[in-house]
Amino acid sequence: MGISSFLRQLLPLLLLVSLLSSCDMEQEIEVKLPDMPTQMVVECYLINGEPMKLALQESSSYFAGPEALLVEGATVTITRNNGTPVTLKDTVLVDEVNRKVYTHYSPARVRATPGDVFTLVISDPKGRRLTGTTTVLPRVPIDSVGYKFNSKPEQSQEAYLLVRWQDNPDQKNFYRLLVHKNDTSGIDSQLDAEVNDRLRNGQKITYTTTYRFDRNDTLTVKLFHLDEAYYDFISSVEDARRANGNPFAQPVTIKSTVAGGFGIFTHLNSDSQTVIIK
């Protein structure tokens, strides 16, 4: 069959498709979502030398407004190494620096050494119970922080940042690297990266940014040593952020580190250095 004969047979089909596509075939479909019971949602970071504090809320339906649903009458305790539980009181605190709101607080400051285990237990009048545990990891020191400018004219030059640290070969390690810029408007986040030692176990790990820093920038570099559960949590949050609004991305489930609810409970250990780009 020749090409011209094939096109003549195809033409009526194309005209039919065009006619159908021009018709109003839009149909509204109502999707009924099942009613899910609300669950407790917690966010708690233990930091050496700081008071114990956490944020506790309730989950809400998909179509609910962006309001905070507080859990009333909850009992919150944190225990170190099966010792005496510390009770966190129901008190709303606003952290303007980090832009966080806490709902429970205790003036008891965190005192921890590597290997210590902290346990979180939350119960409320509805009979719900949320639990979580975290093991304190050793601080990993930053070996060095450096930078280098590109080859553009000096007035338009930008520098990349280079951060290096030593990985422990005796265990799997997970890290979070944060870089903040101190300026007149406060603290500007420049980098938030998750790093693991899967391909660099026991080696010097070097992380290099893109060219993004200007002369006279004052940068604070923080290296956090994370447990695997918290690493999976922040990785899943980042994956969900990238998938949001992308019709071709796979759905992402946020991975919690607690049982009986959602959220995060972990101890944070970090090392930091400050560098001025000159």
Q: Does residue 275 sit in helix, strand or coil?
A: strand
Please tell me the total number of residues recorded for the chain in this structure. Answer: 278
How confident is the model at residue 7, as a pLDDT? Answer: 44
Report pLDDT digits (tens) over 124-154: 999 999 999 999 999 999 999 999 999 999 9
DSSP 108-162: EEB---TT-EEEEEEE-TTS-EEEEEEEPPPP--EEEEEEEE-SS-GGG--EEEE
Edge-to-edge, what's the strand order for the sheet holding 204-208? Answer: 142-149, 159-166, 204-208
Q: Does residue 228 sit in helix, strand or coil?
A: helix
Task: Report the percentage of the chain scoring pLDDT > 90.
Answer: 68
How confident is the model at residue 98, as a pLDDT? Answer: 73
pTM for the model stands at: 0.80
Report pLDDT digits (tens) over 17-40: 454 455 555 666 665 655 668 899
Domains annotated for the chain, with CATH where assigned, are 40-135 (2.60.40), 142-253+269-276 (2.60.40.10)
Report pLDDT digits (tens) over 208-265: 999 999 999 999 999 999 999 999 999 998 888 777 777 776 777 889 999 999 999 9
